[in-house]
Structure 1
């Protein structure tokens, strides 16, 4: 499985971000896309594909998730040369630290729910 080795264009920090997000049950395309956006720069879908080794449909699905969580801004820019669709540019609008805090809150809520159910089971046993 190619998830175990560094992705060709990712730096060490981005790769570590992906590994840690995966351990928190974030799906692979979202983790790779988030890591690609983690430095705060505005980048194209194509740059995300090249950086993360994801295919275009995977980037689109990951972007939908990031957009649904209000973590990313999408801007279209007309091509300066030739014809075709405008280029989409993506940028995190929430700092990575805040995204991590929201993941932390979710994990704590889920853990609390599990612990409550364990306590109920203990009472029933």
Structure 2
């Protein structure tokens, strides 16, 4: 695969392969503990290093199936957290390969998730207070 500057992306990935290290596994575990879905947690861990990555690479590295990656990407797109770029295949015909990259820092993503959890917790506490007042 070749990027717009003519650089061979496949060769670049061979020199710097994408893999899950202890940091990524810890990140996944922490995301799961705060109820982030497994596909989103794994996909965010794959994208966390800030590199552009194909959905196929995400599948291979994370062990997710294609539909799970699509669901995760939809969530990331809805939150405007990723940039999608299409790359023509260097050989043969077929659909272009989609490449994904985070457009916001991970701390902002975590902050947004934190805000959602706090809002949800407030709502639950309000309902508990209502129940106490009814009883």
**In the alignment, what sits opposite 1:34?**
44
Q: What's the TM-score once normalised by structure 1's chain length?
A: 0.88
- The 1-side partners of 2:30 and 2:103 are apart by 21
- The 1-side partners of 2:94 and 2:126 are apart by 55
**In the alignment, what sits opposite 1:53?**
63
Q: Which runs of 4+ in 1 moved over 6 A?
A: none
Larger Cα-atom Rg: 2
- The 2-side partners of 1:105 and 1:74 are apart by 26
The alignment partner of 1:110 has SS state of helix
The CA deviation at 1:80 is 1.7
The CA deviation at 1:105 is 0.4
Equivalent in 55, 63, 69 of residue 79 of structure 2: 69
Q: What's the TM-score once normalised by structure 2's chain length?
A: 0.82
Q: Unmatched 5+ residue regions in structure 2?
A: 1-18
The alignment partner of 1:25 has SS state of coil
Say what the alpha-carbon RMSD is for the aligned residues: 1.1
The CA deviation at 1:83 is 1.7
- The 2-side partners of 1:106 and 1:56 are apart by 27
- The 1-side partners of 2:38 and 2:48 are apart by 15
Aligned length: 117
The CA deviation at 1:40 is 0.9
